[in-house]
Amino acid sequence: MADNKRPESMVRITTPELAQAFIDEQIAALRAQIGERKVLLALSGGVDSSVVAALLIKAVGKQLVCVHVNHGLLRKGEPEQVVEVFRNQMDANLVYVDAVDRFLDKLAGVAEPEAKRKVIGAEFIRVFEEEARKQDGIEFLAQGTIYPDIIESGPVKAHHNVGGLPEDLQFELVEPVKFLFKDEVRVVGKALGLPDNMVFRQPFPGPGLGVRCLGAITRDRLEALRESDAILREEFDNAGLTGKVWQFFTVVPDFRSTGVKNNLRAYDWPVIIRAVNTVDAMTATVPELPWSVLEKITQRILSEVDGVCRVLYDLSPKPVATIEWE
C-alpha cells in the first residue's frame, strides 16, 4: 500500500500556478507510463473522471479512448455536455453509448433501493466491458480515483464499477489524481479549462436519478424527475444559491395525490425538493430558502412538468433522515 499514501512532500494545490505545476508533472509522468499505448476511461462527466480525461488528452491525445455510458439516469443536459466538451471542444476520442433502453428495461419492476443500485452497477460493468472488447490493443485503464476513495474504501473507486471487470480484461491502472483531495481536483480542473458547471458540480450519486425516482422506475416519472430537477437547478442559479447550498435535487415518489387541472380532478405525482448543507455528508442541515424562490420553483414545476400536481420541501436534517430518499 506504500504507493497509495500521499507523499508527505506534496504541497496542497490551492492556486492556478500550483495546479499548472501538477498538470505539467502529470503529463510527463503519464507519457512515461503510457508511451505509444492505448488507455481506456469510463467518462461519466463528473469532476474526477473529467479531470482525468482532460489530463490524458493533453498527455496522450487520441491514445485515450473515453467511453461515456448514458444509462438514462443522468441529469438533463449532462450527456450532451460530455459530448460537447470532450468530443467537440477537446477533440477527444469519445465513444458515446446510448444504453438508456437497456438500463430502463433491466430496472423495470425493481423497487428495492439496494437491488436498484446492484442492477445499475452490474449493467454498467456489462456495457463498459462490451465497449472495452470492441477496442483493439488497450493496455491501460484510467480511473478518477481521488485520495478520499483510497482512505475510505480501498483502492478501487466503487461507483466506477470497474472492480468487476473479468479476468481477461485486467488492465494496468492509470490514476493521475489519486493523491488529490476534492478541492484540489477542482483547482486542477479549472486550470485545465473545464467549464465551471463541471468543475464545481455538486455531488451526484453513482446510480444517478435512479435513487431519486422512488420505487420501481417508470419512464414517465423519470422524465418528471429530470425536468423538475432541471427547473430547480435553473432557479437556484438565478437566485445565486448554486455553490452556496451543498447539494440540491428533486425526488419523485411512486404514489399519486389528487389535484385539479382545467377544472377536472387529476391524480398526479408530488415532487419533493431536497436541499442540504454539510461538510462531510455524515450529518446535514436544511437551509432556509427564500420563500420567493420556493414559490417560483413550485409554480414552474406545476406548470411545466407533466404529471405533477404538488410540490413539497423536505425539512428533515440528517440524522434522522439521509440526504437521498433511497
Q: Which residues sit at the interface with ligand XMP, rule CB under 6 A? A: 117, 159, 203, 205-207, 247, 281, 318, 322-324
Nearer to ligand XMP, 268 or 326 (CB): 326
Q: Of 189 and 205, which has the nearer Cβ to ligand XMP?
A: 205
Handedness of CA 99, 100, 105, 111 (dihedral sign): positive
**What's the closest the beta carbon of residue 128 comes to ligand XMP, in angstroms?**
16
Distance in Å, CB of 159 to ligand XMP, minimum = 4
b/e string for 163-194 if b means 16 or more Cβ within 10 A? eeeeeeeebeebbbbbbbbeebbbbbbbbbeb
Is the Cβ of residue 258 or residue 322 nearer to ligand XMP in the bound state? 322
Task: Please report the sign of the dihedral spanned by the C-alpha atoms of residue 279, residue 231, residue 186, residue 80.
Answer: positive
- Cβ atoms of 271 and 299 closer than 8 Å: no
Gap between the Cα atoms of 73 and 120, Å rounded: 9
**How many other CB atoms sit within 10 Å of the CB of residue 304?**
12
Of 92 and 199, which has the nearer Cβ to ligand XMP? 199
The whole-angstrom distance between residue 240's C-alpha and the CA centroid of its chain comes to 22
Name the residue among 160, 186, 184 with its Cα closest to residue 173. 160
Least Cβ distance, residue 228 to ligand XMP (angstroms): 17
Closer residue to ligand XMP (CB): 26 or 49: 49
Minimum CB separation from ligand XMP for residue 306, in Å? 26
Least distance (Å) from ligand XMP to the CB of residue 285? 12
